[in-house]
Structure 1
Amino acid sequence: MTYPRPVIQWREGTVVEVLPGWPGVEAVSVEVPDLGTVRALAYPDVVGTPVVGDRVLLNVTALERGLGTGGYAVVVAVPDRPAAWPDRADDDAGHLVKARYTPLQTMVLGADDPEGAHHARLQDADDVEGMPVVAADLHSALPAVLAGIRMVRPTARVVYVMTDGGALPAAFSRTCAELRVAGWLAATVTAGQAYGGDLEAVTVHSALLAARLVVGADVTVVAQGPGNLGTGTRWGFSGVSAGEALNAAAVLGGLPVAALRVSEADPRERHRGLSHHSATAYGRVLAHPADVPVPTGATGRASTDECLVAVARQVEALVSSAPHLRPLPVPVDGLLEALSQTPVPLRTMGRGLEDDAAGFLAVAAAGVHAATALG
């Protein structure tokens, strides 16, 4: 049997225009022979800052395959102008290598790195002191979870732990950048192979400890970065990390809170109502007791209310085979209004709040429960 080999599609091009970017990301328009003009993203902290006229090396693999990258190529290098390259200050020294042994591996200073300021605090740390930890399948859940938290505790200090199931650079998430600017997030911690957060962590365990003991989080939300991976199989999806994250929270003395992936509009049957991702991640991967907030009540939207009733039944069936899960009703009163006021647009799989309200209500309910647990 022969297997397909991993392939990177490289192209060279010339920057013809600098486009609007966001914190941590430069966007450029690049003229590429045989491809024409393409949009490309550059991470200044990794490859430097390209300007008009620069020759750039691009990775166009996902772009040529038409994958869900937002239609961008990625700048790998600005080879001809060393002045554009990022400068590493002495105080940035660290020995954590992320995206290890790939052509784009990068070295970062870890929160618990021996060279770092927090090593002594984290060296023997083993307890997040009852901190609620909300795990979600999709990156798009993050602003909705925060809306739920803020509806109950608007001053709660919330940290986002970004796992490596989706995008690896934290800067790729415009959502994170805008939530930070709005003051909805205190910090982002990048765990595993993900990088570029305010703090870097080797594992989700050390990320949770850093969130609590270094940043002082009241609540931490754990989810993969943008661009989750799924295959339509029982186990082949990156969202299994949600169950693993709650295992870490339980081991470290936190309060595990499972945000349900729900949809009233997904065209795929396996994601309608309660997604099979949540059933697997929390029913099979998660091995410790965890709270499962279930949105209840009427919204006045027939399709949404019908979906929420179905989800409650599905959760009840799930718990019958997964007794470590504790379903807890969370009234949806006021949640739609809270969700309508997020500083970033709510979008999941191309659907907004009007298209799939049940999905956003489910993850917001997890935020409400986490904030309520703070007392």
Structure 2
Amino acid sequence: MGRSWEGAVELTVTVDSSPVRALAYPALVGAPVVGDAVLLNTTALSLGLGTGGYALVVALPDRLPPDPDVLDGPGHMVKGRYTPQQVTVLGVDEQDSPHHSLLASDVTLDGMPVVVADLHSALPAILAGIGPGRRVVYVMTDGGALPLWFSRSVATLRSAGLLAGTVTVGQSFGGDLEAVTLHTGLLAARHVLAADIAVVAQGPGNLGTGTPWGFSGVAVGEAVNAVSVLGGRPIGSLRISSGDARERHLGVSHHSLTAYGRVALAPADLVVPSPLPEPSAGRIEGQLAGLPDRHRLVRVDITGLDEALRALPVKLSSMGRGLDEDRVYFDAAAAGGRHAASLL
């Protein structure tokens, strides 16, 4: 047995006489103990996925957990639908929820700042920029990992008091609250969890194909639209890199340029860290100049953010690069958080 955090436990499993690192979600498969036989899904290991470097425990076949009493609840919302491990949860917006009448009324986000980010790795840096004293709720979309429990960062950030709560929307699950859509998830963050600021991002694991539209981060633009229609203040955290060797991600990533430039039809505050690093500054400014006029470019001074980023209780890493390898990526996310906090 290895490390454990809220919702997950690491295992070392012997497969063909070789040790394999595995991850189990006790809420789904039961609590494994030393000596258990396990049924594994080894897809992530076989593909060499950086984020998902675990085999995943599908079942403990010799010691199955009790069948859940799904008919008596609580909850009748199914997520991971029509897969062998579909789960039944109590949705904050379903009829059996004590919050159903609230979410059935004409509530809005009341101008709440909502920071929208492409990658899960931006979340800690955004929180560093927001700083202490604000109630921040993470709304996790289903573009990456579906179980929120996969994120050790979220568990650590919550323990450190940097996150007040979590909402999982769409097919994702495992948050403090479950919601059918991003829209009801945002409203629940505001009115049920009393968020001052919400952060919207996919779970760990990003899917991209190198095509203009084939990447999970396209949902960032849709999130901007959702925040706007609900009466919130959308804040776009730009994905910027000076260390990515791929041309399409150097400077402002094509993910951000497409999501904000072509998918987000509502205006947003797009936050630019100031100063930008040399020699990338010229390239970045040229890319930003091509964004639609409906958005507002907000220059945020990053003075003092280095200390906040280094004080985080989690390791900063994106695409295998840490703070010192790709500083502008984390500066951009932290600047988004700083701007959100300035609006309160």
TM range (shorter): over 0.9
Partner of 1:7: none
Q: What's the % identity of the aligned pairs?
A: 58
Asked if 2 retains the 8 angstrom alpha-carbon contact of 1:164 and 1:193, the reply is yes
Could you tell me how far apart the structure 2 residues matched to 1:22 and 1:332 are? Answer: 32
Structure-2 change in CA distance of 1:202 and 1:54 (3 Å): same
Structure-2 change in CA distance of 1:338 and 1:305 (3 Å): farther
Could you tell me how far apart the structure 2 residues matched to 1:99 and 1:90 are? Answer: 18
Gaps of 5+ in 1: 1-17, 299-303
Could you tell me how far apart the structure 1 residues matched to 2:70 and 2:40 are? Answer: 26
Partner of 2:155: 177
Asked if 1 retains the 8 angstrom alpha-carbon contact of 2:157 and 2:313, the reply is yes
Asked if 1 retains the 8 angstrom alpha-carbon contact of 2:44 and 2:52, the reply is no
Could you tell me how far apart the structure 1 residues matched to 2:66 and 2:35 are? Answer: 15
Could you tell me how far apart the structure 2 residues matched to 1:211 and 1:74 are? Answer: 30
Tell me if 1:364 matches 2:334: yes
Structure-2 change in CA distance of 1:350 and 1:107 (3 Å): same
Tell me if 1:236 matches 2:183: no
Structure-2 change in CA distance of 1:336 and 1:270 (3 Å): same
Partner of 1:314: 287
- Following superposition, the deviation at residue 86 of structure 1 comes to 7.7
Partner of 2:4: 21
Amino acid at match of 2:8: V
Partner of 2:82: 101
What are the superposed Cα offsets for residues 347-371 of structure 1, whole Å, 9 maximum, x if unpaired? 1011111111111111111111111
Partner of 1:136: 117
- Following superposition, the deviation at residue 258 of structure 1 comes to 0.5
Could you tell me how far apart the structure 1 residues matched to 2:268 and 2:202 are? Answer: 19
What are the superposed Cα offsets for residues 13-51 of structure 1, whole Å, 9 maximum, x if unpaired? xxxxx1122221011111224x73211111011111111
Residue pairs, 1:323-342, within 5 angstroms: 323-342=293-312
- Following superposition, the deviation at residue 195 of structure 1 comes to 0.4
What are the superposed Cα offsets for residues 168-208 of structure 1, whole Å, 9 maximum, x if unpaired? 00000001000000000001100100000111011110100
- Following superposition, the deviation at residue 218 of structure 1 comes to 0.5
- Following superposition, the deviation at residue 156 of structure 1 comes to 0.7
Could you tell me how far apart the structure 2 residues matched to 1:123 and 1:297 are? Answer: 45
Gaps of 5+ in 2: none
Tell me if 1:265 matches 2:243: yes
Partner of 1:5: none
RMSD over aligned CA atoms reads 1.7
Tell me if 1:52 matches 2:34: yes
Amino acid at match of 1:362: A
Tell me if 1:245 matches 2:223: yes
Structure-2 change in CA distance of 1:365 and 1:308 (3 Å): farther
- Following superposition, the deviation at residue 334 of structure 1 comes to 1.2
Tell me if 1:32 matches 2:29: no
Size of the alignment, in residue pairs? 344
Could you tell me how far apart the structure 1 residues matched to 2:280 and 2:329 are? Answer: 9
Could you tell me how far apart the structure 1 residues matched to 2:199 and 2:54 are? Answer: 28
Asked if 2 retains the 8 angstrom alpha-carbon contact of 1:63 and 1:69, the reply is no
Partner of 1:209: 187
Asked if 2 retains the 8 angstrom alpha-carbon contact of 1:22 and 1:177, the reply is yes
